[in-house]
C-alpha cells in the first residue's frame, strides 16, 4: 500500500509539478520582457487601460463586479471543493474527482511565485476595487477561473453523454474565464498582458491536471490487463 501511494505521489509530481516549473519560467520570462526590454508594450497597454476607464457606465459597473467576483479566491476554492465533493460522491474515483483541485492548486503556486519575481505595477487607471498585495502580473483572478473552468470543460467533454447538456456546460466553462478577464480590465486591476498570461497559466495547469488523470487511468488499465493475463 505504501508503495502504491509513493508511485501515485511520484506520478503527480512528474506530470504536474515538474512541467509546472517550466510554465512558471515561461510566465516569468514574458513578464520580465514586458517590464524590461519590451517596456514599450507597457506604454501601449496603459492607453488601453485608460480606454477601459473611460468606457465605464452605470450599467456595466455592477456586471463587471459580478464577473470579477467569479475569479475571487474564496469563490474559486468554494466552487472547486463543491465540484470535487459531488464528483467523489457520484463516481468514487478520487483521481478524477480532484482534477479541478490539482489544476487550481498548481495555478495558484505558479501565480504566487511569478508575481513575486516580476513585480509589475498596476495600470494607471482609477481602480474600482482594493487591489491585493500581489503585483499586477499575471492576473490571479483570470488564472484561477481559467484553471477551474477549463478543467471542468475538459471533464465535461469526457463524461457528459447528453449532447445538449455537454455543449451547454462546455460553453459556460469556456466563456466565464474570458468574462472574468474582461471584468478585471474594466475595473482597472490589470493590463491586457496580465490577463493573457493569467489565462495561459490557467489553461496549461488545467491541461496538466487533466492529462495526469488520463495517464494514470491508462496505466491502471494496463496493470489490470497484465494481472488478468498473468
Query: DSSP of the chain, one letter per residue?
Result: -HHHHHHHHHHHIIIIIHHHHHHHHHHHHHHHHHHTTTHHHHHHHHHHHHHHHHT--TTHHHHHHHHHHHTSHHHHHHHHHHHHHHHHHHH--HHHHTHHHHHHHHHHHHHHHHHHHH-PPPPSS--SSPPPSS-SSS-HHHHHHHHHHHHHHHHHHHH--SHHHHHHHHHHHHHHHHHHHHHHHHTTS--HHHHHHHHHHHHHHHHHHHHHHHHHHHHHHHHHHHHHH-
Give CA–CA dist 43/39, Å, rounded.
7
Cα 91 → chain centroid: 24
Assigned C-alpha cell, 76 = 474559486
Question: Which residues of the chain carry a pLDDT beneath 50?
Answer: 1-4
CA dist 222 and 230 (Å) reads 12
For residue 23, give the C-alpha cell: 510554465
- Which pLDDT score, from 0 to 100, does residue 110 have? 97
User: What confidence tens digit (pLDDT) does each residue in 87-130 have?
Assistant: 999 999 989 999 999 999 999 999 999 999 998 988 887 778 87
Closest CA to 9 of 129, 77, 102, 74: 102
pLDDT, residue 132, reads 72
Go through the chain and tell me how many residues it has.
230
pLDDT given at position 38 = 86
Amino acid at each position: 500500500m505504501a508503495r502504491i501511494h509513493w508511485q501515485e505521489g511520484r506520478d503527480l509530481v512528474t506530470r504536474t509539478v515538474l512541467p509546472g516549473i517550466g510554465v512558471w519560467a515561461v510566465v516569468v520570462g514574458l513578464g520580465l520582457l514586458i517590464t524590461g526590454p519590451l517596456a514599450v508594450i507597457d506604454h501601449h497597454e496603459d492607453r488601453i487601460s485608460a480606454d477601459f476607464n473611460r468606457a465605464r457606465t452605470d450599467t456595466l459597473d455592477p456586471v463587471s463586479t459580478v464577473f470579477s467576483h467569479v475569479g475571487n479566491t474564496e469563490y474559486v476554492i468554494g466552487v472547486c471543493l463543491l465540484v470535487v465533493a459531488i464528483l467523489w460522491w457520484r463516481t468514487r474515483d478520487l483521481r478524477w474527482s480532484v482534477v479541478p483541485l490539482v489544476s487550481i492548486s498548481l495555478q495558484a503556486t505558479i501565480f504566487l511565485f511569478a508575481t513575486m519575481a516580476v513585480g509589475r505595477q498596476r495600470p494607471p487607471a482609477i481602480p474600482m476595487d482594493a487591489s491585493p498585495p500581489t503585483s499586477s502580473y499575471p492576473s490571479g483572478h483570470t488564472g484561477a477561473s481559467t484553471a477551474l473552468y477549463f478543467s471542468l470543460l475538459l471533464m465535461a467533454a469526457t463524461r457528459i453523454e447528453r449532447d445538449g447538456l455537454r455543449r451547454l456546460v462546455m460553453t459556460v466553462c469556456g466563456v466565464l474565464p474570458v468574462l472574468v478577464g474582461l471584468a478585471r480590465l474594466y475595473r482597472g486591476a490589470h493590463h491586457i498582458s496580465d490577463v493573457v498570461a493569467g489565462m495561459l497559466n490557467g489553461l496549461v495547469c488545467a491541461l496538466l491536471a487533466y492529462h495526469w488523470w488520463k495517464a494514470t487511468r491508462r496505466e491502471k488499465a494496463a496493470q489490470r490487463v497484465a494481472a488478468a493475463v498473468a
